[in-house]
Chain A
C-alpha cells in the first residue's frame, strides 16, 4: 500500500493523529528541530542559509495558512543539517519541500533509500536539473517526487519574442553544455513561432565572444538561456555590451539580466514561486494525488524602459505582454498575479 493511497484513506486519519502525537515526543527528545511541534506537517528544506530562500519559504508558509482548516505547521531546516533529522521524524511529515537544487539533491538522495519518506515537492529547481535528479520514467512509477520548475516553458519564452518584437524573426542563441539540451525543443517550436534560430555552441566561458560574433550577423535579437558556462557573471557583461552596441536587443530569463541591460525578461519571482508552491502543497495536503512536475503559472514580464528607449523600440506595456502570454500559455493554466495579498500586479510583482 503506497503512502499516497493511505493518505487518501480517510479512515487512517485517526492513525495519523496518533502517530503525530508519538512523533512529538520523539522530536522533542531528539532536539534536532527547535520548532518541531505537534502540528508539524510540512518540512521546508532550504539549500543553504541564504535569506533569499526565506522569501520562498515565507510565501509558502503564508499560502498554507488556509490549508487544512489552518492546522498546517511548517518547519524548516538547512539542507546541510537534513542528515541530522532522524528517519522517524522526517517520515512523519506529510510533505517535504526542498527549495533549490542542493536541497532537492539532499532530499531525493534520502528519499531513494527510504521507502517511507513523505511526498516531496521541489521548488526553485530548473527542469533539466530535476529530470537529471529524478528521471521522468522513475518518477512516474513511484510519483513521490514532483517539482515546480524555476524556468519558463520554451513556448512561453518564444511566445514573448513574437509578442514583444514582432518584427524581429532572427534569433541568436548561444548554447552552453547545459542549455544545449534545449536545442531540440527550441528547434521544434521555432517554426510555429515564425522564428529562425541561429545557434552557436560553447564548451567553455572563454568561447562565448567568438560564438556571439558567429551568431550576431544572422540575428536581430539575442535569446539568453540559463547555463552555468555560457551565461555567467563573467560572460553576461560582454554579451549584453556587445549585442547592445550592435543594436541587437537581448531577451533574458531573470530580473538580474533585466537590470543589467537586457531589453525584456521573463521570470517568476521568489514570491510567485512560493505562492504556486503553496497551492500545490495545499492540494497535496488535501490528499489529492501528487501533480506532475510543472512550469510556473505565475510569472513576470518586465521591460527595461531605458534600454528600449535607447534602442528606439516601442514595446507593448508589460501588462499587455503578460496577458498576451497568459492567453497563449499551453498546458499550464495561468492567472494574472493581481489580487494577491502583497498587492502584486501583473508585470510588477515583488
Chain B
C-alpha cells in the first residue's frame, strides 16, 4: 500500500517535471488528478479552534478590523474582553498603551506582542511601540489574542496575554492598492502596496505615511514613514522561505513638562529583518527555523531650560537604543492520531544603550526550551500539557508549566480548565538599578539589581459554545490569577514609604485578579456581524509599590455591529463603555466613559479597479473623557478614506 502510494507520487512528480508530451500542456489529463502540491497549512501555522485552545482566545479578522473603524493598531484591542486601550503623552510623545487586566504602566505592559512570530516588545522598558509598526492596518490578515499566560506556547514574555499579528501572505494581495486618510486632528495617512510573483516566488512591497496631531492643546503630533518588503518563496513541495525586511522613521512632539523637560521633537526609528525557513510535510508534521533582528532608536537631544547657576547649558541625551537578535527552532509532529507534539528552543540577545545612564548596560541573553503535547484522551476530552524552561542573564533559570483540559460535553459545547504558571523576565532597565527616576538630566544611581522574574499562577475555567447554524460563538472565562514578585520603580508614589535607594526597582508587591469576561460573535448572514464583549475584573493588592488595585477598569462593555446594505454600503457602529480606573505609574485617574464610533463606506468600480470611500467618526458624540493625564482629553475625530485597488 505504501509502495503504491510512493509509486503514485513518483508518477505525479514525473508528470510535474514535464515528462509528459509537451502537446498536453493545456489539455486536461490525468496529471491534474495525481499531482502533489506543497502543503499549505503547516502545523505551526494552523489556527486552533477556540474549543481546543489551552487558553481563552480572541481572533480579530479583517472584517472586524474594517468594521471597528480603527485607524491605528492599538485601537483594535478595544474589541477584546479584558483589554484597555489608553494614550499617554510621555518621554517619547504620544504613545498608545494596551493592557490586559491592568497592572501595567506607561511602559512595561506585561504583554507579549508578536508580528509574524517576531517579538517586538521594546528591550529597554519592555513596552510596545504601537505607533512604529512598519506596515498598514490593511496588511493584517488576522490577530490572535491569547487571553492568559502562555509561556509554553508563545514564549518569553507571554505573561498576562499574548497578541499575535499575522500579516497577509504575499499571495493574498496581488496587484496595486493605495489608500489615503484625511481628517481633523491633522490626520494625513497614506499607504501604497504592490504585490506580484513569478513561479513559486511571491512578494509584496508596502510603504506609507501616518500623521496626526494627537490631543488638542497638547504638543504631541506624530508622523511616521514606514516600508516593508515581504517575499514568500515556495522552494519545493515541502520547503518555504519567508523573508521580511522593513522599518519606520518618524518624529513625535513632546510637550513641556518642566524646565528640565522642555517641549521638543524626538526621533523614532525602527528596523527589522526576518528569515523563516519552514519545512512542512503535512498539517501535523514539520519544523521551522527563524532568525530575526529588531532595532529601535529614540533620538532625543535637547537643552534644558534651567541652567545651573554659573554653569553652561549642556546638551542632554535622553535617547535610547535597543536591538534584539533572536534565533528560534520549532518542530511539530504527531505520534498517532491522538498525540500531537511541539517542541522548540530559542536564544535571544538584547542590547540596550541609554546614554542618560552613565554606565553601559550589559547585554541580556535569554535561552528558552519548550515542549507542548496535545493529547486527545477521548473523543470529547483534550489535554494540553506544556512547559517552558527559561534561562537568562538577569534572573537565572525558571520553569513555566501549563496544564489544560478541554471537555466537550456536546458537539458544540466545551468546558476548559486551565492551570498555568508564567514568568516575566525583568527588563534590563528594571534590573539595572540605575534608571533615572526624576526629571531627565538628574539620574539617581544605585547598584545593579538582583531581581526575580515576576510570576503568575493562573486558574481558568472557560465555557465555549457554538451554534454553527446561526454562525454564533460564545466564550466565557472565569479566572483567578495570583501575580507575585511584581516589579516596580520605587519613588513613583507620592506616599511611598519605600526607600528610593539603593535600588530603583524591586520585587515588592503582589496582586490577585479575579473576574469573568466573555465575548459573543454572531454572523446571522454574510452581510451582518455582531460582536459583544464584556469583562468584570477585581484586583486585590496591598498596593505597596503602586496603585495596582485600581489599575484596570472594573467593568468594560463593548458592542460592534456591522451590516452591508445593497452589496455596496458598509456600515458599522461601535460602542464602548468603561468604568473609571487609575493606571499604575505616573497616571492620573481616568473617569468612566462611553464612546461611540461609526463608519460608513461605499464600494464601486472605477477605472477598472475597486474603489472604496469611507467616512469614519471616532467618539461621535465628542465625549471629553481624559486618558492617562488630565490634559490628554479625548475629542471627536473624523476622517475620510479613499482606497483604490487594481488587481492583477
Contact = CB atoms under 8 A, between A and B. Distances in A.
A33 B36 CA distance: 33
Interface in B85-144: 141-142
B41 A307 contact: yes
A47 B39 CA distance: 27
Contacts of B648: 206, 209-210
B19 interface: yes
B171 interface: yes
A309 B12 CA distance: 28
Nearest to B195: A209
B647 A209 contact: yes
Contacts, number: 196
A336 interface: no
A209 B175 CA distance: 10
Contacts of A242: 169, 171-172
B200 interface: yes
Contacts of A54: 7
B19 to A, nearest CB: 6
Interface string A301-340: 0001111011110100000000000000000000000000
Interface residues of A, number: 73
Contact of A229 (B8, B26, B61, B141): B26
B234 interface: yes
Interface in A242-296: 242, 244-245, 247, 253-257, 259-261, 267, 269-271
Given A167-B469, A209-B647, A228-B29, A101 B24 contact: yes
A227 B5 contact: no
Interface string B142-184: 1000000000000000000000000011011011000000000
A241 interface: yes
B29 A126 contact: yes
Contacts of B141: 245
A115 to B, nearest CB: 26
A323 B593 CA distance: 59
Given A177-B26, A206-B648, 15 more contacts: A50-B14, A102-B24, A102-B29, A105-B21, A170-B526, A178-B27, A210-B174, A227-B28, A237-B37, A238-B172, A254-B34, A259-B282, A260-B40, A310-B46, A310-B48
Q: SS class of chain B's interface: helix, strand, loop or mixed?
A: loop
Interface in B1-24: 1, 4-12, 14-16, 19-21, 24
Given A102-B29, A167-B469, A228-B29, A55 B37 contact: no
A125 interface: yes
Interface in A196-211: 206, 209-210
Contacts of A260: 36-41
A179 to B, nearest CB: 8
B309 interface: no
B43 to A, nearest CB: 8
A69 interface: no
Contact of B16 (A229, A233, A238, A304): A233
A217 interface: yes
A118 to B, nearest CB: 22
A129 interface: yes
B51 interface: yes
Contacts of A218: 526
Contact of B28 (A102, A129, A342): A129
A342 to B, nearest CB: 6
A241 B172 contact: yes
Contacts of B411: 314
Nearest to B470: A167
B49 interface: yes
Interface string A119-142: 000001110110010000000000
Interface in A211-246: 213, 217-218, 220, 226-229, 231-234, 236-238, 240-242, 244-245
Give the interface centre of B51, B172, B337 by most chain A CB atoms within 10 Å. B172
Contacts of B20: 47-48, 102
14 contacts: A47-B20, A48-B19, A51-B11, A51-B14, A52-B9, A55-B8, A101-B27, A124-B30, A242-B172, A245-B142, A259-B39, A260-B36, A270-B7, A270-B8
Contacts of B35: 232-233, 254, 256
B47 A55 contact: no
B615 interface: no
A43 interface: no
Nearest to B408: A314
- Interface of A, secondary structure class, is helix
A231 B32 CA distance: 8
B311 interface: no
A53 interface: yes
Contacts of B284: 306
Interface in A85-118: 100-102, 105
A150 interface: yes
A89 B270 CA distance: 77
A289 to B, nearest CB: 26
A63 B211 CA distance: 74
A51 B14 CA distance: 9
Given A124-B30, A234-B199, A306-B283, A52 B8 contact: yes
Contact of B34 (A52, A209, A240, A306): A52
A350 interface: yes
Contacts of B30: 47, 100-101, 124-126, 150
B25 interface: yes
A151 interface: yes
A171 B458 CA distance: 44
Contacts of B38: 233, 236-237, 260
Most buried by A among B8, B282, B466: B8
Nearest to B46: A310
Interface string B247-289: 0000000000000000000000000000000000011100000
A105 B28 CA distance: 13
A206 B11 CA distance: 26
Given A126-B33, A210-B647, A242-B171, A256 B19 contact: no
Contacts of B47: 310
Contact of A253 (B25, B27, B31, B33): B33
B52 interface: yes
Contacts of B174: 209-210
A100 B47 CA distance: 39
A150 to B, nearest CB: 5
Given A209-B171, A210-B175, A350-B1, A259 B142 contact: no
Contacts of A47: 20, 30
B3 to A, nearest CB: 8
Given A228-B32, A234-B199, A260-B39, A52 B172 contact: no
